[in-house]
Chains A and B, each alone.
Chain A
Amino acid sequence: MLEEIIIAGFGGQGVMSMGQLLAYAGMLEDKQVAWIPSYGPEMRGGTANCAVTISDTEISSPLVTEPSVCIVMNKPSLDKFEPTIKTGGLLFVNTSLIDAKPKREDISVYEIPANAIANKIGNSKVANMVMLGAVLEIIKAVEPESILESLRKVLPPQRHNLIPLNAQALQKGAEIVS
């Protein structure tokens, strides 16, 4: 198994933490992982993205230029990363914020109304976890339980009350695509 994943969206949508959780969960499952943030003269409200590699064997290059999986949380990210996806790769689109349709026909597209679902369960901030739930249901790179275990490790104890909400968001995301 080798998944090279790009996660992109607005600053504040939780794309960096989505990637870190994915990497953390992979590490807990004894897989090889790497996470690289885009860093640069970023603007507030501008785009942010990160690259995550999860592999059963040693990772040669942690840089992802032809992703096997691409998760786009907003329109500028769709425009920027759709052309880079590997033939046969997967594209997850947050349709709550993206009206446009992807153009590529050599990839599989999953349309996830991540913000709408997050709002329905009561907190728009977990739209990233809804999306992650959908992604993991398809690619099976790590178990959703490992994501929750990672949350237990990275969140301070006083924030552990948020874990059930995150679990619910992962579950709802998985249901959309299953």
Chain B
Amino acid sequence: MSKVLMKGNEALAEAAVRAGCRYFFGYPITPQTELPQYLSKRMPEVGGVFLQAESEVAAINMVYGASGAGARVMTSSSSPGISLKAEGISYIAGAELPCVIVNMMRGGPGLGTIQPAQGDYFQATKGGGHGDYKLLVLAPASVQEAVDLTIEAFDLADKYRNPVMILGDGILGQMMEPVEFKLTENNELPVKEWATTGKKGRKKNIINSLYLQAEKFEQHVNRLADKFGEMEAKEQRAETYLADDAEILLAAYGTTSRVCRKAVDMAREEGIKAGLFRPISLWPYPAYALQQVLGRVKGILTVEMSLGQMIEDVRLAVNGKVPVDFYGRVGGMVPTSRDVFDKIVAFREVL
């Protein structure tokens, strides 16, 4: 397969089609609008459905319905739109339904700004909607990785019967990089025996997130907990860069990790032993991988486009073994590699 040059939003949309997604329900919002735009043309070509709903709330409930009927289904939005979808996401997780949700984050709170940000980390990894549920959250750092993780996200969603979120930011959505689609269209998909497809000749299937008897609901939530435990054990993903002999370890995900990788190169040129830890799964947080690279680390600098959200998971993972500092830009501003390099130098002074 040859490479093509594509925007992150469009490449991710094509990846969904390749993964067998044939239903998309969404509502436009910058900086992810190219994703629904692409699918509005592409879905009819493959006999799929593209539907621009009347609101984000409607879109996520259409996802709920399509997923219950056994379809591979996706929705996408950006920060304020994801907040609107939060109730539906909780229902979908409660009813144990698979789907893929894309959030190309922009600056918040409120309507905020349309420029890139990472302020929805807490929302994605620690809740968003109500109740005891978890999303599997994957954070690509390049257009190729966005494609690969999106394809994987559909399989993971089916495997665990749980929503999977692709958490990107405005830059990932808008950026063009070469991509290769290793997967062709029209692959065989797993059979979903639990789906509400009409009960001809079998016992009826029920999709529901309401349990009026507390005893029964506790059993249900405990069963979800077992599933989340399995995800925590099996689905942690991370990548490291020059971390083996690092004394100062940067921790960053998504676009920010690219900025940090360059800062690590700048530091190495100055003889500073810097390295990078890049979580790919944000939930489950790859705590084990982080603990494995602490060997010579004297301090961790967490860099985010937020006021400091992932830093809490870094602190939990290292459990006080090394000092953890923070650098961030907010409101749609992106840290530069030079800024991060300067922080590395300053951090080294105080260690």
Contact = CB atoms under 8 A, between A and B. Distances in A.
A60 B178 contact: no
B261 A40 contact: no
A39 B175 contact: no
A36 B5 contact: no
Interface stretch (A19-27, A111-119, A123-131): A19-27
Nearest to A150: B5
A33 B337 contact: no
Given A60-B262, A61-B262, A39 B5 contact: no
B5 A63 contact: no
Contact of A65 (B5, B264, B338): B338
B333 to A, nearest CB: 12
Interface residues of B, number: 24
B258 interface: yes
B202 interface: no
Given A33-B178, A34-B176, A60-B261, A40 B115 contact: yes
A23 to B, nearest CB: 6
A10 interface: no
Given A33-B177, A60-B261, A61-B337, A27 B3 contact: yes
A35 interface: yes
A8 to B, nearest CB: 16
Contacts of B259: 61, 63
A66 interface: yes
Interface in A41-92: 41, 59-63, 65-66
Interface string B162-177: 0000000011001111
B177 to A, nearest CB: 5
Contact of A33 (B5, B30, B265, B336): B5
Interface centre among A24, A32, A61 (most CB of B within 10 A): A61
Contacts of A63: 171, 255, 258-259, 334, 336-337
A39 B174 contact: yes
B29 interface: no
Contacts of B31: 39
A11 interface: no
Contacts, number: 60
A102 interface: no
B175 A41 contact: no
B3 to A, nearest CB: 6
B51 interface: no
A60 B258 contact: yes
A33 B6 CA distance: 11
Interface centre among B5, B170, B171, B259 (most CB of A within 10 A): B5
Interface in B236-264: 255, 258-259, 261-262, 264
B175 A36 contact: yes
A162 B243 CA distance: 51
A39 B264 CA distance: 27
A35 B177 CA distance: 7
Given A20-B5, A41-B114, A60-B261, A65 B175 contact: no
The 9 A-B residue pairs whose C-beta atoms are closest, nearest first, are A61-B262, A60-B262, A35-B176, A60-B261, A65-B336, A61-B258, A27-B178, A36-B175, A61-B259
Interface of B: 3, 5, 30-31, 114-115, 170-171, 174-178, 255, 258-259, 261-262, 264-265, 334, 336-338
21 contacts: A23-B5, A24-B5, A27-B5, A33-B5, A33-B177, A34-B176, A35-B175, A36-B174, A36-B176, A39-B174, A40-B115, A59-B258, A60-B264, A60-B337, A61-B261, A62-B171, A62-B177, A62-B258, A63-B171, A63-B334, A65-B338
